[in-house]
Structure 1
Amino acid sequence: MFAAFKRLGADSLLYAFMNVGTKLIAFLMLPVYTSYLSKAQYGAVYLIDQWTSMLTFLVIFGTDSALSFYYYDTDDKEKRLLYVRNVMYVRLFIVALLFLPVVVAGPWIAHALLDEPGDVDLLYLSLMTLLLDTIFVVATTVMRFEFRTKSVVIWTLVKMSLVAVLSYAALRWLAATPEGLLMGRLVSSALVFLLMLHFTVKYMVWRVRWDVVKQLLAYGAPLVPTSLAFWAIANVSTLFLKHFASLEEVGVFGVALRLATVITLITSGVQMAWRPYSMSMKDRPGHRELFAKVYMALLVIGAVGLVAIATVSPWLVEAFFKPEYREASVYIPFLSAVTFLNFYYLILSTGLFLTKETGYISRVFTLAALLHLGLNAVLVPLWLSWGAVAASLITYLIAVVFIFRKSQQVYPVPVSWKKMNFILVATLLALIVIVYVQQAPLADGWVLAGWGLFAAMLFATRVDRDLRRPVRTIEGENVQNT
């Protein structure tokens, strides 16, 4: 038993290292890419990334969850190999199908997405990269199932490093255009494909079993709408911006979105650790009080972090980006709040996971996606990027409220929702004050007004009493959450 927990801990640390490493590489390369690309050019790259992200959901088509179920449902190595091969066939077949609309109506799609029919080359480059990445993902998934954690981490970091180096090389010496950047990505994916060919070739042997394909699709297809709902919430705002504004607006907003996800360097580790920790604590005395402390502590830490991000955002953008991207700094604090809420709902939904009511989360986010579409349709034409920010923030606030409310109904945790709401309001007011001061012709010292407002409202909640209050004894130890 101890060996199993030791493996879980070691694997979790390695995957956390991988997540931080890949996000850090992407973050460090962002100012490099934007130094070569104009706002409109980066806007085109960002839209291509969104297009590829949506197609990735279609290519996977829920087969990741299906494979994880059927792979461990048998100990027969040949049967496991059969499942992996058929997952590979399904995904490659879907990629092949995706080439057809581009071949038939590529210029029209390019015009609708990027305003330029001649940019159809970008669609082909993204699809060819998607084809190679599909093989890579299946290979690393099998490695993960076989507990070859170090191999997964090494290959993922090698791939991300190659993407960074070759994309930079392509921008500098080939063409400082979106085509150059995407060509660098394609070459890096091709190199990784060749390096991994000795491992992946056995998964590409043609041996289709239609009964296996039906099993995989029957399990995975129902999961696709939820995945697309999450994609819509994350990405649809920029499509509205492109339609009602310009690629330049998309470029600035895209930079703000990328920078806003920097906080996942911290939250991803907590997220990975929280699920097994909460599951292991559920039968121990006092665990609900402990959960309440975690809920409140993470909210306070996140709130302080968001106010700090608002304070340093202008300096960050000014120091590392061209002046034309400077406007991104005003959106970063609020988009960071959206990123935090996207993490925080996973913590607040613990009761739903413990009572196996996770279907509620899917229903909430499906409706949230529809709400998000409606809000963007109304707010983006009025306020452009600020409308997109407001739509995302409102959507996630409502989704978090519904999920927390349902979680409390099925699995009550003694935490004050009034204090939580007050802290959220205090944080948003502080962000508004700080961003306003930074944009107004006021002395920098006035930023402290935002911090003062936040500190005063936080002190008024006396949340420190909740965090200091001891919980019931757990296995003879008085557990405190710090």
Structure 2
Amino acid sequence: MRSLLKQLVGESAIYGISGIITKFIGIFLVPLYTNVFEPSDYGTINIINSFFFFVGILVVFALDNSAARWYYDTTEEEDRKKTIASWFWFQLSFTTVVCAGIIGLSGFLSHRLLHTSDSNLFIVSALSVFTGVLPIIVQNWLRMQRKAIHTVVFSLLYSLLTIGLTIYFVLLEQSGVIGVFYAVVIANSLASIYCIFLLKSWISIRYLSIQRLKEMLRFALPMIPTSVAFWIINSSSTFILDYFYNLKEVGIFQLGLTISSAVTLFTSSFQMAWGPFAYSIIQNENAKNVYSTVLTAYTIIANFIALSVALFAYELLVVFTTPDYYSAYLVAGLLSFNSTIYSYVYILEIGNGIVKNNKPLAIAVLLSAVVTTGLLLGLTPLFGKTGTAFSMIFGNLVIPVYVYFAAQKSYYIPYKIALALSLCGFSFGLYILYLLIQTEIAYVNVLIKGVFIIAYIVSGFAALYIWDRKAFDAIRQFYDKLKTRKNKA
């Protein structure tokens, strides 16, 4: 089991390097953007991104999930090519139709959502979706092949290209908001040229299998309403906040979300490694124990990172932004915990994935969408962006809870749920307690934050000792080995 966990940690670390560098560059650009964009400009960008996030989910048609599952059904390359080619040709065709429709309705969409007659933002963004088809498929294909380093190099260069072009258009050319989307279209187009050469033998039309496509679509079908519901949970808040308030409030909320995304340095790298890893060890006799241990380890690390970002969100805003954006600190803090919630689903839902049953996840996300929408409509008018953040957290919690009970019936895994829940509750409780006792004195607040982080670390080891003694002993042995090596050196 240790060798398998070491493999997962290694691949997560490799993916994490890309995420850390990319996120760091993105955060580095925040002070530059806050001197160029007003909060309302951030609001406009968020409206566009939220709309096309929905479009992106729609055109993928959940076939990324299906492709990963069918890919591992065989070791024969010819059969795997049927899976990738079928996915590619369907998504390319569907994306073409959808994006053509958006371009045709660009004037109407601009008037209704952005309160302007300028349709260029929607036209350029639609082109970015079309040109992004191949890069999306290639990144998934590389992860399926467990080519972590190649995946990271491609993703990193792709991100750096996008960021470099964004700097050029926004800061040098001063193209305004549309410069952000010019950068995406050009970066996608250049990346697609490389993807064609890389994937050309895998997406040949001769590998297109209607039968395989039908099977994959049938598996993905329950995920379509789920994808829409997922968008409601994570992105409808933008439009509701704009409806009750204005684009400025949306922009400050978006910046808070950007700061909280620092948590995804860990969660996204884990997610990229987890799916292919988890499915690849299905036949291993220690698989269930590995899944359980991963949940425990993930919970400890994820909550530590979320608590750290949440507590120091204000300081991050002071360093990277201007006073107009400081009020985003509470949103950033709350959404730091929200960034970890859906990641639990990736671990808890693995049992349903193994038995090829996506229905529980679909039901969970639909229930979450209903709860989130109700909370957004109730809390946003009363508490603004803070109410929006709380709505997203409590709405998202529905998913891992429902998925856990459903998956355990299909494929039981001995998770240490009591341990995970205690750590999640304690870390979030520490943050809420800080909000209640914070002072007007900066250095006192920093001292309190440091004490709270230490308290969480101590509580994490204490909880491990009580509920998972084997994991505690393994960590202690690992520490002893490091100490011995250090002494020898």
TM range (shorter): 0.7 to 0.9
Matched with 2:474 is 480
Residue 387 (str. 1) matches residue 384 (str. 2) = no
Contact kept? 1:310, 1:435, Cα under 8 Å: no
Counterpart secondary structure, 1:186 = helix
1:125 is matched with 124
Distance 1:281 1:211 in 2: 27
Map Cα deviations across residues 441-465 of structure 1 (whole Å, 9 max, x no partner): 4564156557768878998xx7654
Query: Are the equivalent residues in 1 in contact too, given 2:278–2:350 (CA < 8 A)?
Result: no
The verdict on how the C-alpha distance between 1:375 and 1:201 changes in structure 2, with shifts beyond 3 A counting, is same
Deviates more, 1:136-145 or 1:318-327: 136-145
Aligned residue number for residue 242 of structure 1: 242
Say if 2:311 is the partner of 1:317: no
Tell me if 1:109 matches 2:103: no
* Aligned residue in 1 for 2:223: 223
After TM superposition, list the pairs within 5 Å mapping 1:29-44 onto structure 2.
29-44=29-44
1:2-81 equivalent positions in 2, closer than 5 A = 13-70=13-70, 81=81
Deviations 1:137-165 (A, max 9, x none): 23444444555554433222211111000
Residues 219 and 358, structure 2, Cα contact 8 Å, conserved in 1: no
Distance 1:99 1:212, change over 3 A: same
1:171 is aligned to 170
State the Cα distance separating 1:237 from its structure 2 match. 1.3
| Distance in 2 between residues matched to 1:303 and 1:473, nearest whole Å | 21
Contact conserved, 1:37 with 1:176, CA < 8 A, in 2? no
Checking the alignment, whether the CA contact within 8 Å between 2:16 and 2:266 is kept in structure 1 is: no
How far off is 1:362 after superposition? 3.4
CA distance in 1 between counterparts of 2:353 and 2:192 reads 38
CA deviation after TM superposition for structure 1 residue 416, in Å = 7.3
CA distance in 2, matches of 1:444, 1:9: 36
Separation in 2, partners of 1:321, 1:123: 28
Equivalent residues of 2:348, 2:404 under 8 A apart: yes
Structure 2 Cα separation of the partners of residues 151 and 189 of structure 1? 18
Cα RMSD after superposing both structures: 4.3
Question: 2-side partners of 1:346 and 1:213: how far apart?
Answer: 24
C-alpha distance in 1 between matches for 2:363 and 2:381:
28
- The CA distance in 2 between the partners of 1:472 and 1:78, in whole Å, is 46
Structure 2 counterpart SS, 1:331: helix
Please say if residues 125 and 186 of structure 1, whose CA atoms lie closer than 8 Å, have aligned partners that are also in contact: yes
Task: Tell me the amino acid that sits aligned with residue 464 of structure 2.
Answer: L
Report how far residue 136 of structure 1 moved: 2.2
Q: Structure 2: how far apart are the matches of 1:429 and 1:308?
A: 13
Q: Which residue in 1 is equivalent to 2:252?
A: 252
Q: Relative to 1, partners in 2 of residues 1:216 and 1:405: Cα closer, same or farther, differing over 3 Å?
A: closer
The secondary structure found in structure 2 opposite 1:184 is helix
**Cα pair distance change 1:165/1:480, threshold 3 Å:** same
**Deviation of the 1:329 alpha carbon:** 1.4
* Structure 2: gaps spanning 5 or more residues: 477-489
Question: Which residue matches 1:467?
Answer: 464
Post-superposition offset of 1:132: 1.1
The whole-number CA distance in structure 2 between the counterparts of 1:154 and 1:280 is: 28
The amino acid across from 2:375 in the alignment is: L
Q: Deviations over 1:166-200 (max 9, x none)?
A: 11000122234111121122222222233444345
Q: What's the offset of the Cα at 1:25?
A: 3.6
Segments of structure 1 that go 5 or more residues without pairing to the other structure are none
Deviations 1:265-320 (A, max 9, x none): 223445566675896899569959x948x766654554444443233211111111
Deviates most, 30-39 or 266-275: 266-275
Residue 153 in 1 paired to residue 125 in 2? no
Mapped contact 1:57–1:228 kept (Cα < 8 A) = yes
**Could you tell me how far 1:50 is from its partner in structure 2?**
1.6
- The answer to whether the 8 Å contact 2:103/2:126 transfers is no
| TM-aligned CA distance change 1:449 to 1:200, over 3 Å | closer
| Other structure's SS at 1:116 match | coil
Instruction: Identify the residue that residue 181 of structure 1 maps to in structure 2.
Output: 180
Cα distance change on mapping 1:121 and 1:192 into 2, 3 Å: same
**Residues 169/458 of structure 1: CA separation in 2 closer, same or farther (3 Å cut):** closer
Distance (whole Å) between structure 2 residues aligned to residue 436 and residue 161 of structure 1: 40
The answer (yes or no) to whether the contact 2:232–2:369 under 8 Å persists in 1 is yes
Contact in 1 for aligned 2:372/2:396 (Cα 8 Å): no
Question: Does the 8 Å CA contact 1:109/1:117 hold for their aligned counterparts?
Answer: no
CA contact (8 A) 2:28 2:320 kept: no
Letter matched to residue 379 of structure 2 = L
The answer to whether the 8 A contact 1:307-1:427 is kept is: yes
> What SS is found at the alignment partner of 1:36?
coil
How far is the alpha carbon of 1:380 from its aligned partner?
Answer: 0.9
The structural deviation recorded for 1:249 is 0.9
1:163 partner amino acid: T
Q: Counterpart amino acid of 1:368?
A: S
Q: How many residues align?
A: 472
**Structure 2 SS opposite 1:480:** helix
Matched, 1:332 2:332: yes
Tell me the CA shift for residue 105 of structure 1: 2.8
How far 1:106 sits from its partner (Å)?
A: 1.9
| Structure 1 residues 220-369: aligned runs within 5 Å | 220-270=220-270, 276=277, 283=285, 287=289, 291=292, 299=299, 301-347=301-347, 359-369=359-369
Deviation at 1:368, TM superposition (A): 0.8
> d(CA) in 1 for partners of 2:133 and 2:20?
22
% identical aligned pairs: 21
Cα 1:182/1:5, change in 2 over 3 Å: same
